[in-house]
Amino acid sequence: MAGAELRLGPLLRYVDEHTATIWVETDRPCEARVVCDDGTATGAARSWQVAGHHYALVTVTGLRPGTATGYRVTLDGQDVWPLPGSPFPPSLIPTPSAEDHPLRVAFGSCHWAAPGPDGDDPAGPDALCALGRRIAAEPDGAARPDVLLLLGDQIYADETSAATRAWLAGRRDTSKPPGDQVADYEEYTHLYDESWLDPEVRWLLSTVPSLMIFDDHDVIDDWNTSQSWREDIRATPWWQERIVSGLTSYWVYQHLGNLSPAELATDTLYAAVRAAEDGTDALRAFATRADADPAQARWSYRRDFGRVRLLMVDSRAARVLDEDHRAMLDRAEFDWLRDNAHADGSFDHLLIGTSLPWLLPHSVHNAEAWSAALTQGARGPRWAARGERLRRAADLEHWAAFPGSFAALADIVAAAGTAPGAPATVLVLSGDVHHAYAVEAGFPGRPLRSRVLQLTCSPVHNAFPAHLRAAFRFAWSPPARLLGRLLARHGRTTRPPVTWRKRGGPWFGNQLMTLVLHNRTARARLDQARPAPGGAHLVTVLDTDLLADG
């Protein structure tokens, strides 16, 4: 009988000076082992099962600081990675150094699955594929980021590719809801296969540590827009399976790898899943509770990279949707964010990752605040109904559509940036809107010690129609800003507690942004994927000092 095979992965997830975690999916129960080339670092774990699929998260120990160690993966003692005949260099585990070195953080969002090698790509060249190709071509590590942040829409459960639609049609009757969207856990696993088995993406994720958070398309477009949206979706016969499967698969494929070995060691759900013959019931029960009550799960997390702190914020599942208490995050989540953003001199840079932009073009911000005010009754019941219809039709559900939460995040950012031990920068990182831009924030009456910017980068691989490009260019224009002021006046909205000005953009195309943080200096580089013979390559369109006056 043939031995166990590697279905998906390996994905390099958590890395510190001495340890790393590597995630794999296998085709049957087995022991997964990671063996490093230095002969000392190693790790092994038994697989565990969810819905007929088998997974392992291997903790590798014995790594040395400041090294890039090659590794291989074995299943029940048989080598399965690197793949035979692989054109790529060996996968590495790069550990941070105790010495003073820059930290390179690449980020982006919205990665729609690439078609097969013989198909035309309607979304254009894939920035993740291009990054993988660039790193493979420069084995000295000069092109390699220290960490890759994927800020939402790693898969598209509601906008499937032609290949996936054909696969779904062979599995069930797609003339019935949810049609050619995914319906259950098995179909979610197919989306991850489609996205992460692309050769360049697969190798990239095996050799660059990654951190992830979901956004709406990981479940469904405009997920948790409003209370009435939730009531309508819950009335459909297919939704309960969709949301439970979506959260279950997110925990397995994305969330688990965000956790450190210390966090994994105390995670009771992870222990229960590993101990069970089949962890499906435990995970589905957890997902059901998490959907019913945001306080039952915390998808947000913190990572420290030397003197850089990252707070990755869940701006989808943690929402409170009751119109009288509407909030982007529940109270416990805001308390967690506030406590961890406290600037006490222990870090030089604070990164706040949120899939949804906090600072939008002023005209769009005012339109979202106007819609929120109408829906909450600022102009009476008739306008409230119009406000809800507009909110859904125009996707007005970013931070600005939760005015109290927008102000609360502003207060957290301002407190961090004005404290005696303030970091050099407070950087809000976001995606979602299928273009890139940079804005700088200020707080009237609160002198900043930090430079506060929002950096938005999207998509990694997706299309953006020409008319929407024109709309976003217009959104930054003076006439659009005037229109936004008129909407704000009609909605009787309050003036936001933060001011902001555009420092660059909008830039359109498939792209990734990279921060280079060193002591109290900070640079940002924007690279766009361009077609080229042999595959997409990255072209730098911006390289700027974030602390310089823009």
Q: Is-cis flag, bond preceding 178, omega within 30?
A: yes
Average pLDDT of the residues in 173-180: 97
User: How far is the C-alpha of 216 from the C-alpha of 153, rounded, in Å?
Assistant: 7
Mean pLDDT of 112-126: 76
Provide mean pLDDT across the span 168-181: 97
Contact 491, 379 (CB under 8 A): yes
CA angle 445, 451, 453 (to 5 degrees): 100
Which residues span the domain enclosing 171?
A: 108-508
Report residue 242 as tokens.
Answer: 């969709």
Question: 55 in a domain, yes or no?
Answer: no
Residue 2: HSE in the Cβ half-sphere, 13 Å Cα cutoff:
7
Residue 120 has pLDDT above 80, yes or no: no
The token pair that represents 349 in the structure block = 């840079």
> What is the mean pLDDT of the segment spanning 304-311?
96
Position 117 scores a pLDDT of 55
Query: Above pLDDT 70, what percent of the chain?
Result: 99
HEC-encoded secondary structure of 102-168: CEEEEEECCECCCCCCCCCCCCCCCHHHHHHHHHHHCCCCCCCCCEEEECCCCCCCCCCCHHHHHHH
What is the C-alpha to C-alpha distance for residues 342 and 229, in angstroms, rounded to an integer?
A: 35
Q: What is the DSSP letter of 90?
A: P
The pLDDT confidence band at residue 99, using thresholds 50, 70 and 90, is confident
Q: How many CA atoms lie within 13 A of 145 on its CB side?
A: 30
Lowest-confidence pick of 109-118, 434-443, 465-474:
109-118
Work out the widest C-alpha separation in the chain, in whole angstroms: 73
In this prediction, residue 116 has a pLDDT band, given cuts at 50, 70 and 90, of: low
Task: Give the residue-averaged pLDDT of 287-305.
Answer: 95
**Distance in angstroms (rounded) separating the CA atoms of residues 329 and 332:** 8
The answer to whether residue 33 is domain-embedded is: no
User: Into how many domains does the chain fold?
Assistant: 1
Which has the closest alpha carbon to 25: 59, 42, 48?
48
The Cα–Cα gap between 320 and 328 comes to 6
And the tokens for 344?
């006490």
pLDDT in tens, 22-49: 999 999 999 999 999 988 889 999 999 9
Asked whether the predicted pLDDT for residue 196 surpasses 70, the reply is yes
- We report the CATH number of the domain holding residue 245 as 3.60.21
**What does the pLDDT average to over 263-282?**
97
In-domain check, residue 399: yes
Distance (Å) of CA 398 to CA 88, 366, 426, 471: 40, 11, 20, 17
| 78-81 and 451-456 strand pairing | unpaired
Task: Look at residue 415 and tell me if it is in a domain.
Answer: yes
Token pair recorded at residue 260:
């450190």
pLDDT at 1: 61
From the list 462, 453, 464, 472, the residue with the least C-alpha distance to 367 is: 472
Q: Is 60 exceeded by the pLDDT of residue 125?
A: yes
The pLDDT of residue 533: 86
Q: Which residues pair with 59 in a beta bridge?
A: 21
| pLDDT (0 to 100) of residue 283 | 98
Is the residue at 368 inside a domain? yes
Helices then strands, each counted (H, E), the chain: 15, 22
Residue 45 inside a domain? The answer is no
Reported residue count of the chain is: 550
pLDDT of amino acid 393: 92
| End-to-end Cα, the chain, rounded Å | 65
419 has a pLDDT exceeding 80? yes
Q: Which of 272, 343, 332, 326 is nearest to 300 (CA)?
A: 332
> Shortest CA distance to 450 belongs to which of 439, 441, 459?
441
DSSP-assigned states of every residue in 261-290: HHHHHT-HHHHHHHHSS--HHHHHHHHHHH
Question: Is 80 exceeded by the pLDDT of residue 98?
Answer: no
Beta-bridge mates of residue 54: 26, 49
Q: Looking at residues 238-262, what average pLDDT do you find?
A: 98
pLDDT at 119: 57
- DSSP string covering 298-359: ---EEEEETTEEEEEE--STT-B--GGG-BSS-HHHHHHHHHHH--BSS-SEEEEEESS-SS
Structural domain contains residue 513:
no
What would the pLDDT profile of 135-157 be if each residue is shown by its tens digit?
Answer: 999 878 788 999 999 999 999 99
- Tell me what the pLDDT averaged over the chain comes to: 95
pLDDT above 90 coverage of the chain, percent:
89
pLDDT at 193 over 80: yes
Q: How far apart are CA 240 and CA 229, in angstroms?
A: 14
Q: Residue 455 — very low, low, confident or very high, per pLDDT cuts 50/70/90?
A: very high
In a domain, 463, yes or no: yes
* Structural element, H or E, at residue 244: helix 239-250
